[in-house]
Amino acid sequence: MISAALALAGALIYGAADFLGGLAAKRLRSLVVTAVAALSGLAALAVAQPVLGGVWAPADMAWGVLAGIFGVIAVALLYACLAIGPMSILSPLTAVVSAIAPMLWGLLIDGETLSPIAYAGLGVALVAVVLVGFIPGQKAVRPSARGLLMAVGAGVAIGGFLIVVDQTSEDSGMVPLVMSRGTTVAVTLVVLAVLAVVAVRGGQGAASVLIPAGSTIGATPTGHADLEHAAAASSAAGASPSPSLSTAWWFAAACGVVDAAANALMLVALREGDLSVVSALTALYPAGTILLAAVVLRERVAAVQWLGLVLALVAGGMLALG
């Protein structure tokens, strides 16, 4: 099934975007990284849309705006829950919920039917999501009810993004993604402007909004977060030095372009296959981040994460055969 291959490739590319966002967030505020990524991604989609074509139908444009709202909600809830912690529990929980919500929608609402091997593949994919997203080495801490609710909410919002995009017509091309990214740009720029005004009134310069505040976790505009790299960076800053400020801006811009490419693959996968399959494989996005961190930053990949990566490939094969 070509949609399974596209979804798995898109997940790895989402992970690459998160990796770049995580590097940028070492020098720039996470919200700034999200805004810059949204802008660069919007520019990339705006260039691609006329080439790939697409009808600007009001319904599809409205679905795109709604998808953008889901993306903003996902980013906000992700930062909130990960700031509360523990990340080792809330990270996999968010990823699993982001897969389960659209899976249930596809199977129960859209009436998708899969072969037995594909159903088994969905189960393997969920196990892989947990193992890949697990952050070893952290002390076991019971999460608060507030943190759990925010993690579940973030996962539902990410899943909602996929569900909404799946409602768009094939004739719309990249139009829904352009509208979604435009919505993210508008919301994040308004929030940054408000923060700048508050900073100025508090006696600080407007540029203070650029400084990282709280957990330095890079995120893509559709709500994914560089969980693995953020955890490693916070505990071993010397092993992965921060980029210069100018380089951080370029990382943020590159994050948006790469994320836009992942969105395009995800959109094609949805139109070629089933929402339940695409959502399960898309939730494996931390795999791309882990592999890049291991290759580029020489960060250690835990045995449990290697097992998750192997299971991810097995799940992809099972879903492709199904």
pLDDT on residue 139: 58
For 181-224, the pLDDT digits (tens) are 999 999 999 998 988 888 888 878 777 777 776 556 677 888 88
Spell out the domain ranges in the chain: 2-321
A 10 A CB-CB count for 190 gives: 11
The average pLDDT across 105-126 equals 90
pLDDT on residue 138: 55
For 262-285, the pLDDT digits (tens) are 999 999 999 998 999 999 999 988
230 has a pLDDT exceeding 60: no
For 138-180, the pLDDT digits (tens) are 555 677 888 889 889 999 999 999 999 999 999 999 999 999 9
The average pLDDT across 124-147 equals 78
235 has a pLDDT exceeding 50: no
Q: How confident is the model at residue 298 (pLDDT cuts 50, 70, 90)?
A: confident
Q: What are the backbone dihedrals phi and psi of residue 243, each rounded to the nearest 5 degrees, phi first?
A: -75, 165
Percent of the chain clearing pLDDT 90 (strictly above): 41
pLDDT on residue 240: 53
pLDDT on residue 234: 44
Q: What is the mean pLDDT of the chain?
A: 85
63 has a pLDDT exceeding 50: yes
